[in-house]
Structure 1
């Protein structure tokens, strides 16, 4: 009998200790993420009596603010026509559907519920004041965001722009978008979730998974140059196709004898297929990783990491196709903007960010994001060689539609085949580039889904972004 009681006691003690350890784990390891979870009802209950902080763009324009009606507040988002241009970034706050975007990831800051706000919250309680959260100041630019969306028009796609010297993200535009002000409308919510054809809730800028086409040649070119597969001045013969492992790979034309710069400027698939297939998959993947294409940098909104072919599909033919951005390679516009920024910034990638500052309602800064180095994609000599090819593409190659009089632009176009476009559909139109080439202030990535060639469709959109940004002194 005594032995059974001991066993029961040990068992209960074990359960008790296990429970304590589990609760400790929840508090210490998962507490922050649980507190910030969009479906956390305790956070929603607290929010009912708090004036949520305002979200501003880089110029002080209010992107999201709380309008107080008596004892309750209504979240209001900046509108452009019938849509809110920053819906995929700022996200939304909904009593029915939780929160999303920066509204979710910075919820505690916007509600003033961080440890740094504890004293002020105590005073609010003592003095019976309505608590007010902190404000966010973003790096995004409303004028450039609207320019990007207007340039896309009613075409599905995305535009990303950033400062390659600082990592500040200037534009994250995705279309179709939605009206965050009407998110609590049950009919709209159902419509948004059931519209699988247009996927308006998908942030194509950071979560879109696209074959990059020829814009990926800036990455493959880096690997070819670093591994010294051949020298930049060496020429190869392009008859308009390449044969790899018995597979014929078509080109966009007969380019005859081309060196590295000419191949990049003319977007010669033959050159990159032949030379890229001489790399090992390990070398190819290493360069992919050097550019951060397999990473998901933390910027406050979801990002899809770029992907290469699964290991079981990695043969020489797949490597050749991947070398000019086809095969199984899938990348988002955000990732390609970072790759372009690496070339613009002499081989280094600054850590990208959206939130520049968190500040009190009185304007006092709580925290300020400092510019910092993120990755080294390549060395300055290789980056300069790629840059020269991109300048040639703009001056006399496939990217002339992005050129601006009086400003040297460096760019690369892409026309990415999809499963549908190999039948009767149109390919995706891509463009990546930066300007001014000698002192880059802005790097841009554009994709327009199933619309045609990158030089004809995507490059003019980038030109509009370049022109609008470089006409200002604050960019």
Structure 2
């Protein structure tokens, strides 16, 4: 009997020790993460107690700050529509979104010394302060990209291929987060989906811009494809299906095929490399991943491997079929080629400081994926340079700067083709990579390429 009581006592003490350890772990190790979870109802309580920190662009321009409305803190977004999808919002009624949500634990002072400092301030009845976040975004380029989209639905992503720093991430149409409470009913009923961040959550067939990925896979599977020529007769028959081309291009090599955007050549290259190599290349570019930029990114999707029959493979090789990607992923495709196959991890947050200016986090350039060899990227780059010099992408040209690019006009079930452009500049030493998508707008060469050209020109003139 005594032994049983002793064993029971040991068991109870053991369970209590485990409980104490687990509660300590939750409080000390994961406390700030749990406190900042968007599903935590106490967040709104923190909002009422803490003066939320400021979000700045890379030049120190205020993108989100806290003012007073009567006796309550009120979040203010000086750039309004321009940064709505990027910064997001804070609302008692509708929750939180964007970087406002992702950076909660910093902005509410739940990290670093601010956590203890604010606890003391609360006890002493003093104001509690959150930390500040500085982004890689340039608000001028952000506004310019939005202006160039005008009233058209679409997205623009601009980044530095050497580091992964995102300079602009734009989705249109948008909304004014300063008036969220008033306009919410209209936003959720609007058929144009203004709450959707098309740059990272949009799912689009990439059209001919995806020929860059197909080329990389074909050259990796068979290096002699660089010396091969193809005879384009204006169509390709695949198991009884006739895949039409935009023209009869005659004999072309892979560089010329990129420049003139030859469907026949790239459908054949897709078939030649086979479904396994094609899928492997898509994964190598990180298209099936969320790269973790602080905003949720929709991974690209395609037909299941067993469903990639020859007709599907030929269609996917030219960016059609069941293939769907986001504009961010296509900007990363351009960035990978620009950086000789070394794809850097994209990021939006440059620095995080606590309420006393102490740096809590400083993002540095980090390698993410090895996409292709420098030799393969060099071949593809030459074709992209020719596309801007004399092919389908001449409208992306910038005076005095060699631009490399690829256009796309993606068929879709919702009307006119989506207009695409991806590219980078200067081609010899790339500092900028871009993706432009304009929904149901027609030709990528005449619609998306000029947007990219103007954005690249302005960014280079600003010293990027």
Normalising by structure 2, report the TM-score.
0.93
SS at match of 2:155: strand
SS at match of 1:358: strand
| Corresponding position of 1:73 | 73
Gaps of 5+ in 2: 1-8
| Corresponding position of 1:153 | 150
| Corresponding position of 1:255 | 249
In the TM superposition, 1:254-333 aligns within 5 A as 254-333=248-327
Confirm or deny: 8 A CA contact 2:32 2:111 kept in the other structure: no
| Corresponding position of 1:5 | none
Confirm or deny: 8 A CA contact 1:53 1:134 kept in the other structure: yes
- Which deviates further from its counterpart, 338-347 or 121-130? 121-130
Cα distance, 1:232 vs structure 2: 1.6
Q: Distance in 2 between matches of 1:294 and 1:21?
A: 38
> Which string of whole-angstrom CA distances, capped at 9 and with x for unpartnered residues, describes residues 95-139 of structure 1?
111111111111010011114323322442455320111100000
Confirm or deny: 8 A CA contact 2:214 2:269 kept in the other structure: no
Q: Distance in 1 between matches of 2:119 and 2:174?
A: 40
Gaps of 5+ in 1: 1-8
Q: Distance in 2 between matches of 1:323 and 1:329?
A: 9
- More helix by proportion, 1 or 2? 2
Q: Distance in 1 between matches of 2:50 and 2:26?
A: 26
> Which string of whole-angstrom CA distances, capped at 9 and with x for unpartnered residues, describes residues 385-422 of structure 1?
110000000000000000011100000000100124xx
2:140 to 136, 139, 143: 143
Q: Distance in 2 between matches of 1:263 and 1:101?
A: 40
Aligned residues: 463
> Which string of whole-angstrom CA distances, capped at 9 and with x for unpartnered residues, describes residues 54-95 of structure 1?
00001110000001346421100023xxx4211111110111
Q: Distance in 2 between matches of 1:190 and 1:27?
A: 38
SS at match of 2:51: coil
| Corresponding position of 2:233 | 239
Q: Distance in 1 between matches of 2:193 and 2:71?
A: 36
Root-mean-square deviation (CA, aligned residues, Å) is 2.7
Q: Does 1:337 align with 2:328?
A: no
| Corresponding position of 1:393 | 387
SS at match of 2:340: coil
Confirm or deny: 8 A CA contact 1:177 1:201 kept in the other structure: yes
Q: Does 1:42 align with 2:39?
A: no
Cα distance, 1:183 vs structure 2: 1.4
Q: Distance in 2 between matches of 1:245 and 1:148?
A: 43
Cα distance, 1:23 vs structure 2: 7.0
In the TM superposition, 1:13-28 aligns within 5 A as none
| Corresponding position of 1:380 | 374
| Corresponding position of 2:438 | 448
Confirm or deny: 8 A CA contact 1:136 1:358 kept in the other structure: yes
Assess, with a 3 A threshold, how the Cα gap between structure 1 residues 116 and 15 changes in structure 2: closer, same or farther: closer
Q: Distance in 1 between matches of 2:159 and 2:187?
A: 29
Assess, with a 3 A threshold, how the Cα gap between structure 1 residues 307 and 70 changes in structure 2: closer, same or farther: same
| Corresponding position of 1:222 | 216
Cα distance, 1:263 vs structure 2: 0.3
In the TM superposition, 1:128-139 aligns within 5 A as 128-139=125-136
Confirm or deny: 8 A CA contact 1:51 1:68 kept in the other structure: no
| Corresponding position of 2:60 | 60
> Which string of whole-angstrom CA distances, capped at 9 and with x for unpartnered residues, describes residues 14-72 of structure 1?
99999999978976997665422324221210220211000000111000000134642
Q: Distance in 2 between matches of 1:432 and 1:192?
A: 30
Q: Does 1:106 align with 2:103?
A: yes
Q: Does 1:209 align with 2:203?
A: yes
Q: Distance in 2 between matches of 1:319 and 1:413?
A: 20
| Corresponding position of 1:4 | none
> Which string of whole-angstrom CA distances, capped at 9 and with x for unpartnered residues, describes residues 447-474 of structure 1?
000110100110001011111101112x
| Corresponding position of 1:182 | 179
SS at match of 2:204: coil
Confirm or deny: 8 A CA contact 1:393 1:412 kept in the other structure: yes
| Corresponding position of 1:467 | 457
Confirm or deny: 8 A CA contact 1:229 1:275 kept in the other structure: no
Q: Distance in 1 between matches of 2:421 and 2:91?
A: 36
| Corresponding position of 1:90 | 87
Assess, with a 3 A threshold, how the Cα gap between structure 1 residues 183 and 18 changes in structure 2: closer, same or farther: farther
SS at match of 1:86: helix
Assess, with a 3 A threshold, how the Cα gap between structure 1 residues 23 and 281 changes in structure 2: closer, same or farther: farther
